[in-house]
Homo-oligomer: A and B are copies of this chain.
Amino acid sequence: MNRLTREDIKEWKAKRQGDTSEAAASVEEIVKDVRTHGDSAVRKYTDKFDGVSLSEFRVSSEEISDAYESLSGKYLDIIQEAARNIRRFHEKQVPSSWFDTSLDGTLLGQKYTSLDRVGVYVPGGTAAYPSSVMMNIIPAQVAGVKRIAMVTPPGPNNQVPIGVLATAQILGVKEIYKIGGAQAIAALAYGTETVPFVDKITGPGNIFVALAKKEVYGEVDIDMIAGPSEIVVLCDETARPGEVAADLLSQAEHDERSSAICVTTSEELAGKVEKEVKSQLADLPRTTIATASMDTYGGIIVTETMEEAVAAVNDLAPEHLEVMTANPYDQLGSIRHAGAIFLGPFSSEPVGDYFAGPNHVLPTSGTARFSSPLNVHDFMKKSSIISYSEAAWKEHADKIASFARLEDLEGHARAVEKRKERYDD
């Protein structure tokens, strides 16, 4: 593990950003092609990239129910319990439309409305996670989105992993298309003969998916441009080094570009964590990935004070932050930037990945500076409500017209003043 200081953070962050210009050019072409040629372009790229020749994109209801039947009851129960927890947490986020009235009769407010149509991307291969299906679908359902379309690339035998389909069945998702990559994102953004266009696309994916989401952003909304995952564990001498190390590795095993950093006030703990990481890495099934990740993007920062440690955390703005200190609530107030904050020794990060209820779709790569976990608000939008009363108009019309003229917009001024003709009758 690398020893870092707070001064290294900026450089360390920059190191994680690769050059994506080549992929970007190819994504631009794919998106344009699907926009123009619809299904036939989607078919062409599915053949090229997934090696599958698709006659029908849509997953049949039999495929979905067969997957459900073939997953063991033990897993079905766990998925169902997790889904209930996730639904309960997200139901607490549902906002209410509100308004405020004045004595003169004016009403101002905000009306919340759910989106009409949402598309959810579920990655294929080893990253085809039932948990991601839940984390993307449930907030949209809680928000009241009526039409949810899921896309996921077909595997080598034109199959979608049964865990993914069984989870869709549990959640009642019926519209699933076996398409992936930039072509799937373009199909959702612009619509094709068989895939309907949506208003927003969410869900993680590889670099082609991420760039395609950026390309279509504006035409539709997107959740975020997800980068590789990261964890920071903030701890003092009361933490158990084995637990710190295990939690760091749970992130490192995701991807060679994942990052796991321990920030601590205890030099002694730091040394023990390093040893634990080494020994736990030895027999981890995904040890190659985790070792590469720890060697390149793993690190330990030892600070003099807890204030400095928290400042380092805020500089990192990590996706996942664990706080294992004597009293984690002492630090909560000064932590400004983190996607999810796990407090105390029993809040191991996988607790949040799968089960506790909060969303595991989180801002990566320091974007917790300005982004939030996926949530119900992401699937709703607001409309301002302005009901100006006759009395308010009488009192303020001249001021509003003056303001318009200050901005050289005579038509605006005249529109407000036009109401004066009512009193000429």
Contact = CB atoms under 8 A, between A and B. Distances in A.
A389 B407 CA distance: 59
A36 interface: no
Interface stretch (A264-272, A280-288, A303-311): A280-288
Interface in A52-95: 74-75, 78-79, 81-82, 89, 92-93
Given A351-B400, A386-B356, A388-B356, A113 B416 contact: no
A110 interface: yes
Interface string A389-425: 1101100100111111011111111111011011000
A337 B370 contact: no
A347 B345 CA distance: 56
B407 A349 contact: no
A369 B115 contact: yes
Given A367-B218, A409-B253, A346 B113 contact: no
Interface stretch (A40-48, A169-177, A179-187, A243-251): A243-251
Interface of A: 74-75, 78-79, 81-82, 89, 92-93, 98, 100, 106-108, 110-111, 113, 115-116, 126, 129-131, 163, 199-200, 214, 217-218, 220-221, 224-225, 240, 242-243, 246-247, 249-250, 252-254, 280, 284-286, 290, 328, 332, 335-359, 362-363, 367-373, 375, 377, 381-390, 392-393, 396, 399-404, 406-416, 418-419, 421-422
B384 A340 contact: yes
B382 A346 contact: no
A347 B419 CA distance: 10
Contacts of A402: 74-75, 78
A130 B406 contact: yes
Nearest to A381: B372
Task: Count chain B CB atoms within 10 A of each CB in A339, A357, A371, A416 and give the residue with the most.
Answer: A416
A240 B373 CA distance: 47
A372 B382 contact: yes
How many identical subunits does the complex contain?
2
A245 B47 CA distance: 54
A199 B336 CA distance: 13
Contacts of A220: 370
A93 B96 CA distance: 11
B110 A93 contact: yes
Contacts of A338: 383
A341 B385 contact: yes
A116 B369 contact: yes
22 contacts: A75-B403, A89-B108, A92-B98, A130-B406, A199-B369, A218-B225, A247-B415, A249-B415, A328-B387, A335-B383, A341-B383, A342-B386, A344-B388, A348-B416, A350-B416, A351-B400, A353-B412, A355-B399, A358-B386, A362-B384, A369-B381, A372-B383
A298 to B, nearest CB: 13
Given A348-B418, A351-B388, 18 more contacts: A89-B100, A93-B110, A130-B403, A220-B370, A240-B421, A284-B411, A290-B411, A328-B387, A346-B388, A346-B390, A347-B387, A350-B412, A351-B416, A356-B386, A359-B384, A368-B381, A371-B381, A373-B382
Which 4 pairs from chain A and chain B are nearest by CB? A253-B411, A358-B384, A343-B387, A346-B393
